[in-house]
Each structure stands twice: as structure tokens, then as C-alpha cells.
């Protein structure tokens, strides 16, 4: 139950903070609203890792959870619980945002403004980089929870700033599902579900190829201890 609550709460605050800034970025007193939204997403992820990293691992992302499942570092039952928690957290966050903002807000929907093909490429590549970085940090002994939080948060902030104007830089199916369900705009949702998942799974495949399956097994044995 505590892992369910951790993933639900972590994803809830990630989506609420990140999409909240996106939905009002036009009225922010900044010359570069995209920078504000990227910092919001990166900062929210860093804080959620610090808050829930030792409880559930702070996946707060179904693509990351499926990546860990493919690597054999999480059971199938726990993966299902995590993904359900993440989706519920994201949807609740979007309905919360809808309740406290004006009716004409876009709730932070992700759309392929730079074209479908380029958006698919960005979502795939950026999630690949995210998952591979997570796997690298996990197997390294040099990183503390604080340094992991700062590294992952900074990576997401940079990716959101670069890819945001083109694809929305979701890199997280739950982050896109929440606003899509609440707003009823699901026309391009498949991009933001399929591409991040494929990117994360490809990162796991490459990691196992370059470091060997024993690397994932070693990480798994540590998680059990």
C-alpha cells in the first residue's frame, strides 16, 4: 500500500506542478515561459525522487516502470500496481487543475506541434536517454539519492526545454494521459504512450547488451537486500 501511495502521490504532484505551469505559461511574467515549465517539471521530478525514492523508487512514469520490468528489476504484479497508481495520480492531478483554473485552459496537453514524425522521434529518443541514465545511476556506487535526484531532474528540465516546443516533451505516458482524459483530447495520445515505452525498452536492451544481463541481476539482488 505504501508503494501505491508513493507512486500515486509522486505522479500527482509531478503532473499538477508541471502541467499547471504549462497551462498558465502565457500569463507568467517571464520572457521565456518554456524555461519556467521545464524547470517546473525537472524540479518536481527531483523533489519526488527525494520524497519517495526510498519507498517505491519514485518511478512516477509507466515507461520507466515497464523498463524496470523488462530488466527483471520489478515483479509483474508490482509493475501493474505502479502503473495503475501513476495513471490514477496523473488523472486526478488534471481534474484538480481543471477545478482550480479557467474552463478554457488546455490542462497542459501534449501535442505534436512540430509534426508527428519529429514528435515520435523526440519522445522515443528523450525517453531512451532518461531510462539509460536511470539504469546507469542505479548500478553506480558513487551516487547518493540527492545526486540522483539532481541529475534526473536536470536531465528532464533540459529535455523539456529543448523538446517542449516541438512535441511537448512528455517522456511519460501518465503525464500525457492525465490531461488527455480530463480534457477529452486524445487525438494524438498514442504518440505519447507508444514512443516513451519503446524508448525505455530500447534503453534496457542496449544496457543489457553493453553491460551484460548480470548487471541487471546484480542491481536486482541489491534491491532485495
* d(C-alpha 179, C-alpha 189), whole Å: 10
**53 is in which domain, residue-wise?**
2-224
Number of domains observed in the structure of the chain: 1
How do residues 164-184 score in pLDDT, each as one tens digit? 889 989 999 999 999 999 988
Q: Return the number of other C-beta atoms located less than 10 Å from residue 213's C-beta.
A: 12
Rounded to whole angstroms, the Cα distance separating 150 from 147 reads 5
Predicted confidence at residue 209, as pLDDT, reads 75
Name the DSSP letter for residue 55. Answer: T
**pLDDT tens, position by position, 192-209:** 999 999 999 999 998 877
The set of cell numbers assigned to 71 is 530488466
Intervals of the chain under pLDDT 70: 25-31, 102-105, 211-225
Return the pLDDT at 28.
Answer: 58
Q: How many angstroms separate the CA atoms of 225 and 223, rounded?
A: 6
How far apart, in whole angstroms, are the C-alpha atoms of residue 153 and residue 163? 15
pLDDT confidence of residue 189:
95
pLDDT of residue 103: 54
Q: What is the CATH number of the domain that holds 128?
A: 1.20.1080.10
Amino acid at each position: 500500500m505504501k508503494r501505491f501511495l508513493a507512486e500515486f502521490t509522486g505522479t500527482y504532484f509531478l503532473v499538477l506542478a508541471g502541467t499547471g505551469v504549462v497551462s498558465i505559461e502565457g500569463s507568467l511574467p517571464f520572457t521565456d515561459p518554456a524555461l519556467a515549465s521545464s524547470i517546473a517539471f525537472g524540479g518536481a521530478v527531483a523533489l519526488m525522487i527525494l520524497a519517495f525514492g526510498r519507498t517505491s523508487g519514485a518511478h512516477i512514469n509507466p515507461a520507466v516502470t515497464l523498463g524496470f520490468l523488462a530488466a527483471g528489476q520489478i515483479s509483474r504484479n508490482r509493475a501493474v500496481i505502479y502503473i495503475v497508481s501513476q495513471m490514477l495520480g496523473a488523472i486526478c492531478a488534471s481534474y484538480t487543475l481543471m477545478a482550480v483554473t479557467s474552463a478554457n485552459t488546455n490542462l497542459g496537453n501534449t501535442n505534436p506541434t512540430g509534426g508527428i514524425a519529429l514528435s515520435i522521434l523526440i519522445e522515443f529518443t528523450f525517453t531512451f536517454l532518461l531510462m539509460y541514465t536511470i539504469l546507469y545511476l542505479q548500478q553506480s556506487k558513487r551516487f547518493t539519492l540527492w545526486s540522483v535526484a539532481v541529475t534526473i531532474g536536470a536531465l528532464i528540465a533540459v529535455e523539456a526545454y529543448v523538446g517542449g516546443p516541438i512535441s511537448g516533451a512528455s517522456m511519460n505516458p501518465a503525464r500525457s494521459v492525465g490531461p488527455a482524459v480530463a480534457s477529452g483530447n486524445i487525438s494524438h495520445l498514442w504518440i505519447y504512450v507508444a514512443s516513451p515505452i519503446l524508448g525505455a525498452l530500447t534503453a534496457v536492451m542496449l544496457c543489457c547488451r553493453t553491460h551484460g544481463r548480470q548487471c541487471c541481476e546484480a542491481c536486482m539482488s541489491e534491491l532485495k537486500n
